[in-house]
Amino acid sequence: MPGRSGYAQTVTGPVAAGDLGMTMLHEHILCDLRDPLGRRAGPPADPPITMETRFEIDYFQNRHQGNMLLDEDDVALAELQRYRVAGGSTIVELSTGGLAPQPARLATLSQASGVQIVLGGGLYTDAYLDDASRAASVEELEALLLAQVTSGAWGTTIRAGIIGELGCSWPLRDSERRCLQAAARVQRRTGIAISVHPGRHADAPAEIAAILLSAGADPEHTILCHMDRTIADEARLLALLEQGFVLEWDFFGIETSQYWMGEYDLPTDYMRLDLMRRLIGRGHIRRLAMSQDICIRTRLTRYGGHGYGHILQHVVPMMRRRGYSDGEVEQILCDTPIRLLCYQSRPGESPAPAPDHRHTT
């Protein structure tokens, strides 16, 4: 399509911008979010998810350790096929170091389902890291991330097509600060996009933004995730948008105000769309992103959830009812992902060094 150029790196190879299609920028297909101090070998021994137990398990999502593990290939394949039928083409899979990334299995699932999958590189929050990763220097982390982008990630030759989600806690840990700095360096060298999981505090995104900018990151190619549970104040959101950062609402499909990770009133899908609509009115359509951040079983259709196709099946019609034009829907779900993911010039080519510049407006 006009204005769409470059190639995105997927687990099965480069994909041209015009073939990327409708894209979810923040999802998990195979991941292990169980308590890192209490992980056990083999399947968790929690009670099964049934019609009688599902609501309670979903309402307190992190209390049931089995709910925090996505590790069933047959289930993943069926969920991806449903997403494809709903009109989805691409999913960005952000299970980074500490969450048991599975690039080879993702490649098999991509080929079987027809869904293009972009692999995330980097590390999750400090609590999920091993001692070596936690102690790594900025230079060591830079070398790790660069290798994941240019050679292969997690012991494979499958290259990451985005850095993230980089996990940040509140307060920010030293290991997380170093990873942000390393990611900015790799972004400057390659042009790859960065996706960041901020700590659960309204001040966390601004702190992260300052660290990234001071390290030379390009905010126009940097996503600050989880706005749904982090910032409700429009002034704070506008300050980040005016710096050039992409803000992501990725809890679509979570229709409860009860936040299982702390005291925060979660918005509904309608509330997310109305807030985004107001920010569009301030001229920021190119800096808004949407996804669902599916990382637990009870959000999969197999276990009574909405699945990866929820935005395409249910939210897009809602967007049109609330005044979003077809062009605005296309911008958020297609053109913005293309701008973020398509940074290579030829199929199979390693990312070329990006110009050393910063966008601050």
pLDDT tens digits along 332-356:
999 999 999 999 876 656 665 544 4
Q: pLDDT class for 44, splitting at 50, 70, 90?
A: low
Q: What is the pLDDT of residue 351?
A: 62
Q: What is the pLDDT of residue 39?
A: 77
**Stronger pLDDT, 355 or 134, i.e. the higher one:** 134
pTM: 0.94
Q: What is the pLDDT of residue 228?
A: 97
Q: Domains of the chain (ranges plus CATH)?
A: 7-341 (3.20.20.140)
Q: Select from 345, 313, 311, 351 the least CA-distant residue to 23.
A: 311
Q: For residues 136-156, give the mean pLDDT.
A: 98
Has residue 266 got a pLDDT over 70?
A: yes
Q: What is the pLDDT of residue 221?
A: 98
**Stronger pLDDT, 274 or 3, i.e. the higher one:** 274
Share above pLDDT 90 across residues of the chain, in percent, rounded to a whole number: 87
Least confident of 30-39, 68-77, 247-256: 30-39
How does the average pLDDT of the chain come out, rounded? 93
Q: Are strands 31-32 and 69-70 parallel, antiparallel or unpaired?
A: antiparallel
Cβ 307 vs Cβ 300: under 8 Å: yes
Has residue 358 got a pLDDT over 70?
A: no
Q: For residues 60-79, give the mean pLDDT.
A: 94
Least confident of 138-152, 231-245, 252-266, 289-303: 252-266
* List of residues 6+ apart from 40 with CB closer than 8 A: none
Q: Select from 164, 193, 178 the least CA-distant residue to 135.
A: 178
Q: What is the pLDDT of residue 47?
A: 85
Q: What is the pLDDT of residue 348?
A: 58
**Stronger pLDDT, 5 or 67, i.e. the higher one:** 67
Has residue 238 got a pLDDT over 90?
A: yes
Q: What is the pLDDT of residue 147?
A: 98
Q: Are strands 288-290 and 194-197 parallel, antiparallel or unpaired?
A: unpaired
Q: What is the pLDDT of residue 3?
A: 54
Q: What is the pLDDT of residue 357?
A: 36
Question: How far apart are the C-alpha atoms of 214 and 32, rounded to whole Å?
Answer: 32
